[in-house]
Structures are given as C-alpha cells and as structure tokens.
C-alpha cells in the first residue's frame, strides 16, 4: 500500500483552513449578536453607555460572554430537571423556563450594570432575541443531526 507524502505546504494549508473555520464559528454568532443589539440600541428602549464603537463592542462582548456561560449552566440544569419529560411537552416546558430565565437575567443585568440601560420594552426585546438565538441553536442541532443520519445511512 502506497502512503501519500504530504508537503509542508499541505500542512500549512490545512492549518489555515481549520483556523479560518474556528474563527468563523466563534466570530459569526458574536457579529450577529452585536448587530442585533446595536439595532435594538437605536430605539429609545435600549441605551448602551459607551464612548465609541470599541467601547460598545467591549460592553456587548461582556454581555454576550456572560449570557453564554450562564445560559449553558441554566440549560443543563433545566435539561436535567426535565429529563423525565419527553417529546413536545418537555421541549415546551424547557423553552418556557428559558424564556422566563432570559427575561429575569436581562432584568438583573440591567440593575447590576449601568453600561446597558433598558426600559421594560427594551428588556422584552433583548430577552426575546436571546430566546430566538437559543431556539436557533436547537434548530441547527436538529438539522445537523438529520444531515448526519442521512449521510451515515448512505
């Protein structure tokens, strides 16, 4: 059996492609999050107290990272608690709890931090946006699982 000889340029190309893929996986969700938060902040309901674009990015990145970490922990806890409920009832229960959590999280974050100031409507907008992003993660998971299963069957 003949082994393929890989050159240094093949390794550099592979590392470059993987690096760009990792960068895209990390940066695209944040860019979407930043864009929507910036659009919401153009309303009178949400105000980001920043001195410029870089400061605004820093504030939203901090909010984004805390949302990711806390959502991961809370979602795991809710999944373990609702483990016995299967099907649509379990999913709807978890979804309702996550929507309530997002609203409560945004409410507490606004009270603790004065970097992002929101009215009641603004908190509702941001929590609904977070909830839609949460649901999109489930949709991507279901879609990728379906694609994977169809590929394995072939």
- Mean pLDDT per block of 10 residues along the chain (154 residues) reads 74 89 86 90 87 88 90 86 76 86 92 88 91 88 85 78
Domain assignment present for residue 140? The answer is yes
- Listed in sequence order, the residues at least 6 apart from 122 whose beta carbon sits closer than 8 Å to its beta carbon are 40, 43, 45, 46
- Output the CA angle 79-81-85, nearest 5 degrees: 80
Examine residue 106 and state whether it is found in any structural domain, yes or no: yes
Q: How many domains does the chain have?
A: 1
Residue 129 has a pLDDT of 92
9 within a domain of the structure (yes/no): no
Is the residue at 67 inside a domain?
yes
**What is d(CA 74, CA 97) in angstroms, rounded to the nearest whole number?**
10
Contact, 94 vs 79, CB < 8 A?
yes
Tokens 């509702």 -> residue? 124
Is 101 a member of any domain?
yes
CA distances from 90 to 29, 95, 103, 126 (A): 27, 8, 20, 24
- C-beta of residue 57 within 8 angstroms of C-beta of residue 34: yes
Model confidence, pTM: 0.79
Q: Answer whether residue 100 is part of any domain.
A: yes
**Can you give the residue range of the structural domain that contains 58?**
52-154
**Is 21 part of a structural domain of the chain?**
no
Instruction: Mention every residue, 6+ apart, whose C-beta is less than 8 A from residue 55.
Output: none
Does residue 12 form part of some domain? no
């Amino acid at each position: 059996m003949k082994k393929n000889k890989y050159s240094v340029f093949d390794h550099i190309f592979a590392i470059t492609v993987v690096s760009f893929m990792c960068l895209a996986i990390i940066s695209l969700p944040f860019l979407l999050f930043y864009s929507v938060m910036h659009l919401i902040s153009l309303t009178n309901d949400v105000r980001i107290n920043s001195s410029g674009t870089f400061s605004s990015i820093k504030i939203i990145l901090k909010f984004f990272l805390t949302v990711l970490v806390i959502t991961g922990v809370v979602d795991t806890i809710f999944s373990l608690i609702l483990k016995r409920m299967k099907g649509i009832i379990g999913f709807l229960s978890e979804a309702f709890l996550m929507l309530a959590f997002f609203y409560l999280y945004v409410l507490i974050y606004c009270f603790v931090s004065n970097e992002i100031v929101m009215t009641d409507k603004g908190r509702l907008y941001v929590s609904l946006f977070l909830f839609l992003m949460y649901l999109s993660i489930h949709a991507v998971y279901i879609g990728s699982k379906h694609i994977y299963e169809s590929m394995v069957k072939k």
